[in-house]
Amino acid sequence: MTMSKYVISLGGNALGTDTKSQKDLLKHVSKAILPLIKENHDIVIVHGNGPQVGMINLAFSESKSTPLMPFAECGAMSQGYIGFHIQNAILNELNKENINREVVTLVTQVLVDKDDIGFMHPTKPIGSFYSKEEAEILEKQEGYQMVEDAGRGYRRVVASPKPIDVLEKTSLLALLEKHHIVISGGGGGIPVIRTNDGYQGVDAVIDKDFASAKIAEIIDADALIILTAVDHVYLNFNEPNQLKLEKIKVLELESLIKENHFKKGSMLPKVEACLSFVKASKHKAIIASLDQAYDAIVHHKGTEILPD
């Protein structure tokens, strides 16, 4: 296999709800992508931060002695500590195998449009799950906007603007030129807008799959790989007539989206992000389970989204 460039987007199943469980889960992540590293591929890892950034923000909001921390800063904090855990897990695996490659976390600002419709209609779930009764109390007491999230409970939603550009893209490309493994765009990146006074952070969370697609486009990746809790994209998921999709082209997938086959809080943003990358790059995207990280590329496991 020739050396290729891959962007790997890690879903929430790859990260824990506390530091210990996260470290344990990331050992599994590192083992899953190790075969790609052994073959000397260039890899950029993007991770989510929905639960983590919500917990960070909540901790500051509940503290009586600490000022409230804006969402952009909470996102930067989550990039730092999750990136550290991923770096550490991969480096430990590399040391076991005597593989000499650098792993680095790039604190990443992602440009968004201040007039993005996402600011008017918050859709990004963050933080913990609550019962309907708990959600109603939070709406009244804190002014949060709460929605039911894919049948798993109620969560707070915040603005989720689409990514336009990555401010640190020159640094990202330079690190890849040196064949460093790069953790970039964590949590979808720190959302910033352009103002008369320069770039400014805003209260929002960018969907990490859309950020992954933008990063994959910028580095001219050979494939975007979204790793999640399921092994394929399914129609009629968890129903008696569920059907897994193995290979699908852009036009057909767009038709399925129009027919509302995918849930907004679950698979929809993943397939939309894949479509964005495939249409822009004419390269494939893959949605697969974490366990299939290597097989998804080499043995065509998971769902492959292909250009028409």
Active-site residue (options: 208, 214, 284, 301): 208
Which of 5, 13, 16, 31 is catalytic? The answer is 13
Catalytic-labelled residue, pool 270, 284, 301, 302: 270
Distance separating alpha carbons of residues 290 and 20, to the nearest angstrom? 19
3-state secondary structure of 62: helix
CB atoms within 10 A of CB 108: 27
Contact yes or no for 204/160 (Cβ under 8 A): yes
Closest of 236, 182, 185 to residue 47, by C-alpha: 185
The DSSP bridge partners found for residue 165 are 111
Is 13 an annotated catalytic residue? yes
Told to judge if 12 belongs to the known catalytic residues of this protein, a careful annotator would answer yes
Query: Would you call 75 helix, strand, or coil by DSSP?
Result: helix
The partner residues of 128 in beta bridges, in order of sequence, read none
- Any catalytic annotation for residue 208? yes
Reply yes or no on whether 124 is catalytic.
yes
Given 54, 57, 75, 124, the catalytic residue = 124
Q: Which of 294, 234, 218, 292 is nearest to 267 (CA)?
A: 234
Task: Specify the 3-state DSSP secondary structure of 303.
Answer: strand
DSSP 142-174: H---EEE-TTS-EEEEE--PPP-EETTHHHHHH
Q: Annotated catalytic, 247?
A: no
**Spatial contact of 249 and 275, defined as CB atoms under 8 Å apart:** no
**Residues catalogued as catalytic:** 12-13, 124, 208, 270
